């Protein structure tokens, strides 16, 4: 029987796990370690180790340690620096469901500076010495290359436990310079001070190979990931993805010698594949992935032939890699092309000979990333250009499958100042060709976005906020009218449309929940429905009338699977959550329909059935 529900999309913020805006801790503040953007939480060696947590806006005028439970509704940043804190300014808020957990392991690398002042002082001495470092220059200014202590591992574990105790999931990043102390940023003198990795050989770090008995076959990075593996497996249920940020300043995989070495990516990504649960995506850049792929398969791919790489087979190591985009839609740089501050072209040069043409082409890279069908995570950017202005931003996000965006680092007024109208959204957009400069006219392809009348009159920022990752709308629902409690089969069927930019990446368990209308009983039965098949329309037409983009589902459940079910009327729900979720109601996937979500069950009501006596 067809159910009487509201099958239209409710155009509001729906905080679902593994997708959406996240509140990055990019706050330029003064600490006892000097001015720092406070990107990552510094992992201590022992209880008395000097350290800090990210200083993040909790509420207007309030600063506190909120790492792991930073999921309160927060306004998107409008691009105007209100130092020492970014205060939003767009008037458009979101309730992030993904907590950014950056772990800075600087205390465990003899090349990683412990403060901005330490890095600058080293840099001054190095310059005075003609660029030749000595061990004395490092002393007292860096960590010490060594195994992670049990206390350090417990800090990571406790932080992930806060996520599990809360209502969200975690974007995990591990690095040796999460706060950028090894880099001089800004201006003509921008440069790397020293590669922060414990695998970078310097007078203060004479060997990349660890000397721990029984682990002499590992690099120091491999040892640290081996140590972290049990913690990551323990908290698999609340991890969205893991950023493979052990190379370079901020863990962004650029600038340092290790971050420009293909062999370093081969060993790094193999170590992450071994350490992180197989169910979770790993984020890297295109160059890093190609370096790993070539080493794994004996190939010599570069950016020249990205389109020749096969689409990853489900369940393969290749399918586990997503993409991080550290300057999302930042656009063109004089002399550098349309590379988003190098974020999209990162690693291209290390795959070819010195001075050779890299083969980088933005169109080709974006197409390749989209074909991967995995997580795409973006940091700040949004410089005013064709890729960040609407409607180009919509087309770009659909092609990439943009999943996660840092709502605290980016000029989101770019989207907020635009009303979402048919005229604006469907205007043709011509993108830059490979060799075009920073200003139109451009010679690339021309495309149009599809106008969704559900968002008519809202802001472009509201539309973009709600389309990040997946967004599931129930379009129809049919249930068995009356069922026998012992021999009957409850037939649940219907259609779901994914109107987001991307898909459900991490596997979910779909459970049918029957709750008596009078509240006397609640029983459940598992199904084998795989919601990862619910992909968005490839042409971006997610309008409700595009029934070709609807996904049919059919779930027959024998009543015996529920156990003893008393006669009466029952509301039927679909609970969609991680297979290893430890609670009965948290982190369930919520349909973007009015009146279907039941918070105490963490499930979506899809109708009603009568169990006969």
Nearest to 376 by CA among 514, 449, 468, 456: 468
The three-state (H, E, C) secondary structure of 279-311, written as one string: CCCEEECHHHHHHHHHHHHCCCCCHHHHHHCCC
* In 433-478, alpha helices (H): 460-467
Total number of domains in the chain? 2
pLDDT, tens digit (0-9, with 9 covering 90-100), for 147-200: 999 999 999 999 999 899 988 999 999 999 998 999 998 778 899 999 999 999
| 581 in a structural domain | yes
| Domain stops at, among 240, 262, 280 | 280
The answer to whether the beta carbons of residues 501 and 468 sit under 8 Å apart is yes
Residues spanned by the domain of 160 = 20-280
Residue 605 lies in a domain: yes
Local mean pLDDT, 10-residue blocks, the chain (613 residues): 96 96 66 55 86 43 46 85 68 92 95 92 96 96 98 94 91 94 87 97 97 97 98 97 96 96 98 98 98 98 95 95 95 89 95 95 96 92 92 97 91 95 97 93 96 97 98 98 94 98 97 94 96 96 96 96 95 98 94 97 97 90
Burial class (CB in 10 A: 0-12, 13-18, 19+), 316: exposed
Q: Which of 249, 280, 311 is the last residue of a domain?
A: 280
Tell which residue, 432, 185, 190, 437, has the closest CA to residue 335.
437
Q: Report the alpha-carbon distance of residue 35 to residue 84 in Å, rounded.
A: 10
Residue 198 lies in a domain: yes
Q: What are all long-range contacts of 78-83, with beta carbons under 8 Å and residues at least 24 apart?
A: 78/411, 78/412, 78/413, 78/416, 79/382, 79/410, 79/411, 79/412, 79/413, 79/414, 80/413, 81/28, 83/28
* 25 Cβ neighbours under 8 A, 6+ residues apart: 38, 39, 40, 54, 55, 56, 67, 70, 100, 102, 408
What are the phi and psi torsion angles at 596 (to 5°)? -100, -25
CATH number of the domain encompassing residue 529: 2.60.40
How far CA 612 is from CA of 144, 255, 556, 560, in Å, comes to: 70, 69, 18, 14
Percentages helix, strand, coil for the chain (3-state, rounded to 5) are 25, 25, 50
Provide the pLDDT for residue 82: 60
User: Which residue, of 223, 254, 280, is where some domain finishes?
Assistant: 280
Task: Give the torsion through C-alpha atoms of 326, 331, 335, 336, to 10 deg.
Answer: 40
Is the Cβ–Cβ distance between 180 and 39 less than 8 Å? Answer: yes
> What is the distance between the alpha carbons of residues 305 and 319, in angstroms, rounded to a whole number?
19
Any domain includes 249: yes
**Could you tell me if residue 125 is inside a domain?**
yes
pLDDT at residue number 68: 52
Q: What per-residue confidence (pLDDT) applies to 415?
A: 97
Quick check: is 145 in a domain?
Answer: yes
* 566 in a structural domain: yes
Cα of first residue to Cα of last residue in the chain, in angstroms, is 20
pTM for this entry: 0.94
> Residue 288: left if φ>0, alpha if ψ -120 to 50, beta else—which one?
alpha
Residue 529 has a pLDDT of 97
Domain assignment present for residue 336? The answer is: no
């Amino acid at each position: 029987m067809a159910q009487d529900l509201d099958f239209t999309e409710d155009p509001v913020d729906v905080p679902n796990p593994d997708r959406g805006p996240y509140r990055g801790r990019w706050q330029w503040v003064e600490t006892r370690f000097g001015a720092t953007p406070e990107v990552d939480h510094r992992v201590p060696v022992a209880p008395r180790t000097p350290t800090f947590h990210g200083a993040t806006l909790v509420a207007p005028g309030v600063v506190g340690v909120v790492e792991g439970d930073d999921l309160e509704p927060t306004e998107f940043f409008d691009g105007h620096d209100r130092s020492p804190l970014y205060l939003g300014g767009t008037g458009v808020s979101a309730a992030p469901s993904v907590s950014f957990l950056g772990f800075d392991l600087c205390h465990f690398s003899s090349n990683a500076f412990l403060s901005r002042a330490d890095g600058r002082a080293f840099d001054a001495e190095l310059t005075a010495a003609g660029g030749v470092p000595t061990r004395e220059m490092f002393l007292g200014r860096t960590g010490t290359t060594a195994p992670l202590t049990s206390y350090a591992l417990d800090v990571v574990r406790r932080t992930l436990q806060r996520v599990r105790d809360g209502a969200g999931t975690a974007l995990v990043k591990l690095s040796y310079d999460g706060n950028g102390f090894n880099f001089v940023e800004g201006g003509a003198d921008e440069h790397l001070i020293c590669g922060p990795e414990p695998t970078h050989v310097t007078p203060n770090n004479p060997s990349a190979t660890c000397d721990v008995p029984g682990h002499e076959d590992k690099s120091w990075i491999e040892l640290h990931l081996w140590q972290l593996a049990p913690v990551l497996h323990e908290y698999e249920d609340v991890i969205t993805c893991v950023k493979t940020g052990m190379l370079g300043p901020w863990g962004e995989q650029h600038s340092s010698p290790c971050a420009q070495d293909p062999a370093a990516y081969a060993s790094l990504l193999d170590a992450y594949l071994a350490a992180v649960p197989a169910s979770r995506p790993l984020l890297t850049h295109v160059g890093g992935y190609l370096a790993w792929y070539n080493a794994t398969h004996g190939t010599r791919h570069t950016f020249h032939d990205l389109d020749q790489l096969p689409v990853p087979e489900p369940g393969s190591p290749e399918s586990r890699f997503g993409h991080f985009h550290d300057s999302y839609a930042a656009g063109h740089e004089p002399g550098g092309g349309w590379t988003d501050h190098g974020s999209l072209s990162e690693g291209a040069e290390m795959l070819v000979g010195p001075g050779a043409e890299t083969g980088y082409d933005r169109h080709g890279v974006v197409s390749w990333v989209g074909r991967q069908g995995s997580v795409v995570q973006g940091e700040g950017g949004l410089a005013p250009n064709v890729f960040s202005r609407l409607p180009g931003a919509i087309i770009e996000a659909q092609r990439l499958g943009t999943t996660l965006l840092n709502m605290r680092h980016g000029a989101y007024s770019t989207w907020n100042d635009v009303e979402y109208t048919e005229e604006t959204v469907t205007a043709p957009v011509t993108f830059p060709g490979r060799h075009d400069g920073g200003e139109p006219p451009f010679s690339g392809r021309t495309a149009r976005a599809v106008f969704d009348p559900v968002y008519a009159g809202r802001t472009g920022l509201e539309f973009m906020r709600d389309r990040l990752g997946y967004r599931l709308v129930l379009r129809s629902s049919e249930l068995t009218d009356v069922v026998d409690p012992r021999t009957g089969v409850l037939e649940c069927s219907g259609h779901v449309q994914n109107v987001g930019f991307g898909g459900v990446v991490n596997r979910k368990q779909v459970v049918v929940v029957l709750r008596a209308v009078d509240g006397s009983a609640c029983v459940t039965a598992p199904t084998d429905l795989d919601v990862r098949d619910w992909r968005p329309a490839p042409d971006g037409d997610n309008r409700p009338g595009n029934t070709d983009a609807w996904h049919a589902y059919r779930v027959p459940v024998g009543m015996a699977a529920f156990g003893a079910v008393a006669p009466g009327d029952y509301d039927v729900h679909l609970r969609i959550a991680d297979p290893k979720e430890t609670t009965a109601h948290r982190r369930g996937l919520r349909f973007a329909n009015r009146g279907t979500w039941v918070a105490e069950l963490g499930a979506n009501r899809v109708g009603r059935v009568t169990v006969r006596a």
